[in-house]
Amino acid sequence: MIARLIEYKAKCPTCGARFPRRMSFLTTPHVVRRCQHCGASYKAVAWSEYVGDIGLGVLFALPVLLAFFHVISWVAGCFFAALVLVLSFVLWPYGTMFEAVPPVRDEPTTKKSV
């Protein structure tokens, strides 16, 4: 169970090449991309992308709302909101899964994995 949670899931469903974390800012479930290593087409699994986005969105909004209603200071609110952004970057490959799809013309390719 724990091994499944910490598995690096952001990888090509065909060849297993890992995608870099900077893709976390570019990934949307409706965009089909092509792996630079094997040329296979893939896209993010929609539910995994949306669950992560909603969870992190709530975690981001919470400190901002607490600061807005003077429960915590704005400095603390901005600190925790920035912390959530960093966490989203760090945790993205462990939560977002990808699936192979039929090839589509003119797909963007991913950069080389690190």
Q: Which residues bind Zn ion (CB under 5 A)?
A: 12, 14-15, 17, 35, 37-38, 40
C-alpha 76, offset from chain centre: 25
CA distance 112 to 100: 18
* Cβ 68 to Zn ion shortest distance, Å: 44
Task: Compare residues 19 and 60 and give the one whose CB is closer to Zn ion.
Answer: 19
* Cβ 40 to Zn ion shortest distance, Å: 5
Q: Is-contact 22 108, C-beta < 8 A?
A: no
DSSP string, 45-63: -HHHHHHHHHHHHHHHHHH
Task: Compare residues 36 and 48 and give the one whose CB is closer to Zn ion.
Answer: 36
- Hey, is 113 helix, strand or coil? coil
Burial of 106 (0-12, 13-18, 19+ CB in 10 A): exposed
Task: Compare residues 18 and 21 and give the one whose CB is closer to Zn ion.
Answer: 18
* Cβ 58 to Zn ion shortest distance, Å: 33
* Cβ 35 to Zn ion shortest distance, Å: 3
Task: Compare residues 62 and 97 and give the one whose CB is closer to Zn ion.
Answer: 97
